[in-house]
Amino acid sequence: MAVRTGALIETLWIMIKTPYLLYLGSTVDPMAIKTSRGIAMFRAEDSIGEFVHGAGALSLGLPRMSFAEAAAAGAKTLILGIANAGGTLSNELIDDCEAALDAGLDIASGLHRRLRDEPRLVAAAKRQGRCLFDVRDASSDLPVGNGLPRGGRRLLTVGTDCSVGKMVTTLHLERAMRARGIAADFRATGQTGILIAGSGVPLDAVVADFISGAIEQLSPARDDNGWDLIEGQGSLFHPSFAGVSTGLLHGAQADGIVICHDPTRPHMRGLPHYAMPLLSDTIEANLRVARLTSPDAVALGIALNTSSLTREEAQDVCCRTAEETGLPTTDPVAFGVEEIIDRIEQCFGKSQQVKPPSA
Amino acid sequence: MAVRTGALIETLWIMIKTPYLLYLGSTVDPMAIKTSRGIAMFRAEDSIGEFVHGAGALSLGLPRMSFAEAAAAGAKTLILGIANAGGTLSNELIDDCEAALDAGLDIASGLHRRLRDEPRLVAAAKRQGRCLFDVRDASSDLPVGNGLPRGGRRLLTVGTDCSVGKMVTTLHLERAMRARGIAADFRATGQTGILIAGSGVPLDAVVADFISGAIEQLSPARDDNGWDLIEGQGSLFHPSFAGVSTGLLHGAQADGIVICHDPTRPHMRGLPHYAMPLLSDTIEANLRVARLTSPDAVALGIALNTSSLTREEAQDVCCRTAEETGLPTTDPVAFGVEEIIDRIEQCFGKSQQVKPPSA
């Protein structure tokens, strides 16, 4: 079977194969390559090159490669880590994808328009025995959640709003915990996270009755004393998406939550008529919902996105927030997440260390 | 266009045409004709007959009709108001549906297996210019919720659990409010409710990001001083489905909620490891979530399902619950909903009366 749309979801153990060639194409908007940039940052060891058209295009600082060069260097999958205006696939993009398939690469895409809906790509994948991964496809046979207690430790990032840094915080936690020798695995719930991790569940595409069941399947019991670090979505205070956040909290059965927040945001994303919630209300509401399935859930820290502040302002707001909430507070990108991991070890012990620190 | 799967959802103003012929077929399990029975009860004026095979089958007490007789009597739609074991369509059912289409009837179904996936039925519908309605199909172009305040009054039924009487309570409220001359419209969110109402949104089939948006579309602003009575789903305390309930509360923007409960249920439906929540906690949690989009939301009453109790026991539990909660408490089926409507008029005035009482 050459065309495995959604296959990574239906059988979580089928992963998008590494190493990756990251597609930038002719993109000139730095915001539009956010996903490729995230992969280059958090899967640097798996990102062996970038594919770029022309001289004035963007770069991630990776070796520039043709599809044939990438395949010769061992690349297995071309990642379309770009946003496409209008939701359609341009002729250039389809031409490039066909050439990549012919060069022996699989293709993984988080774009709205599905690869499987492009007859030329389906034909090329069949011809070459290659796979097409549309990571926005949710499985059609997800289970209904059961809320049964399961073994292992789980941490969920939550937020005051959408797009406040939940994915980035979760990835920084994974990296820093692994550096301390703690077994820790990022569990992706959004398109970008799935492309970074190589597997996951696109929660916003799951049918409503299966939200918590999808997360139970994504993050099953584990018995190695390690942690599943689950990427949060939305906010309990966002009137468009709180249902997703609620089902995610229940399915995650989190031992602890990390609360993400942008202290400079004027109102809820896309909704000028909705004020941002207080951090204290956000902590209380998330713990209340989490405790239906995880009665002892605790707050483990606050992650602030201070990218629009000076370093001094950022340090100041972290200090004030830590005082107000009594929780370790940091900007993961600017200051790391060590204090939060310290608190995890205080709350849950160091028993989850399964090998000597590698850093 | 002869085959309109999901058309009632995509354009809410296309309704399933009345009057109805109710299909019982060869069903012998009284539980399996729950939907047909609900339609016979709450849409009696639109139910002109029943279709039954053989002598030992069930009856709803309606005139027994062949498809040709029903069509001659003015029936427009055959309603498959039955549950089918195993989720498949039997040959008998398909034969019957084809005969009904040939007799000039549309068909509406809430069964898991879609009518549109039966080539014989699609062919017959095209041949006869008839419609097939699969009410489990959600629209693929629902909006994302925006939480913008909208005009009109809305009431939402919520519950301690699934299947505690939310649909029946909502339908009784519609009937009793209309009897007082209050403009009131049941807004269906489940398959049975949709077949009873002739339109609605199958919320459990909606993709997670669109739960609240689907309800905003289902129950738009109204300016006639009347009420939309929105059928609730799930429970904030059910770990499988609380995401749906949360999005429904946010999308409904309810002025008031009625809390439904089965006082004899030992644990959450399907989950022996989850205790039923307290009514007081259920009221508090639902109001807290509701107030994100409807800051002045209030509790309007309690509807108990006392069908397994004696009349005296039922009266006793209603009295005790009313004392404990300070809210009018009733079993809508046994004792009606007049006290709850009294409280609605106390809270919101009688201005919503738009015509003299018809009863």
What pLDDT score does A351 carry?
56
Contacts across the A-B interface (CB distance below 8 Å): 127
Both tokens assigned to A246: 């609620």
CATH of B7-134, one of 3.20.20.70, 3.40.50.20, 3.40.50.2300, 3.40.50.720: 3.40.50.720
Q: Do A243 and B239 touch (CB under 8 A)?
A: no
In chain B, residues with a C-beta closer than 8 Å to the C-beta of A147 are: 239-240, 271, 273-274
Out of B146, B240, B273, the one facing A212 most closely (by C-beta) is B240
H or E segment at B265?
none
User: Rounded to whole angstroms, how far apart are CA atoms A273 and B275?
Assistant: 38
Q: What angle do CA A31, A32, A33 make, to 5 degrees?
A: 95
DSSP code of residue B145: P
Q: Do B273 and A148 touch (CB under 8 A)?
A: yes
The alpha-carbon gap from B93 to the nearest alpha carbon of chain A, in Å, equals: 26
For residues B172 and B247, is the Cβ–Cβ distance under 8 A? no
In chain A, residues with a C-beta closer than 8 Å to the C-beta of B246 are: 236, 242-243, 245-247
Q: Do B213 and A147 touch (CB under 8 A)?
A: no
Residues of chain B falling short of pLDDT 50: 1-14, 352, 356-359
In chain A, residues with a C-beta closer than 8 Å to the C-beta of B273 are: 147-149
Average pLDDT in chain A: 91
Among positive and negative, which fits the CA dihedral A193, A199, A200, A201? positive
Q: Do A274 and B147 touch (CB under 8 A)?
A: yes
ipTM of the shown complex: 0.87
| Residue A235 pLDDT greater than 80, yes or no | yes
In chain B, residues with a C-beta closer than 8 Å to the C-beta of A144 are: 240-241
More confident residue, B52 or A14: B52
Q: pLDDT tens for residues A248-263?
A: 999 999 999 999 999 9
What pLDDT score does B7 carry?
32
CA-nearest residue to A144 within chain B is B240
CATH of domain B153-348: 3.40.50.300
* Per-domain residue ranges of chain A: 7-134, 153-348
Out of B237, B240, B250, the one facing A146 most closely (by C-beta) is B240
What pLDDT score does B353 carry?
52
How many other CB atoms are there within 10 angstroms of residue B91's CB atom?
Answer: 8
What pLDDT score does A180 carry?
95
The alpha-carbon gap from B315 to the nearest alpha carbon of chain A, in Å, equals: 32
Q: Do B240 and A144 touch (CB under 8 A)?
A: yes
Residue B232: closest CA among B210, B220, B250: B250
Both tokens assigned to A82: 């770009």
Between B119-128 and B91-102, two packed helices, what is the crossing angle to 10 degrees?
Answer: 10
Q: Do A147 and B239 touch (CB under 8 A)?
A: yes
Q: pLDDT tens for residues B44-76?
A: 999 999 999 987 679 999 999 999 999 999 999
Helices and strands of chain A, counted as H and E runs: 13, 11
| Residue A359 pLDDT greater than 70, yes or no | no
Q: Do A145 and B274 touch (CB under 8 A)?
A: no
Among positive and negative, which fits the CA dihedral A313, A314, A319, A325? positive
Q: For residue A202, is the peptide bond before it cis, meaning its omega torsion is within 30 degrees of 0?
A: no
User: Rounded to whole angstroms, how far apart are CA atoms B254 and B242?
Assistant: 17
Q: Do B242 and A246 touch (CB under 8 A)?
A: yes
In chain A, residues with a C-beta closer than 8 Å to the C-beta of B239 are: 145-147, 212, 250-251, 292-293
Q: Do B247 and A208 touch (CB under 8 A)?
A: yes
In chain A, residues with a C-beta closer than 8 Å to the C-beta of B274 are: 147
Q: Exposed e or buried b for every residue in B176-201, given b needs 16+ CB within 10 A? A: bbbebbbbbbbbbbbbbbbbbbbbbb
What pLDDT score does B92 carry?
94
Both tokens assigned to B35: 């939907």
Same fold, B7-134 and B153-348: yes
Tell me which residue has tokens 């044939």: A68
Give backbone dihedrals phi and psi of A303, rounded to 5 degrees, phi first: -115, 115
Q: Do A212 and B237 touch (CB under 8 A)?
A: no
Q: Provide the percentage of residues in chain A whose pLDDT is more than 70.
A: 92
The alpha-carbon gap from B240 to the nearest alpha carbon of chain A, in Å, equals: 4
Q: Do A242 and B237 touch (CB under 8 A)?
A: no
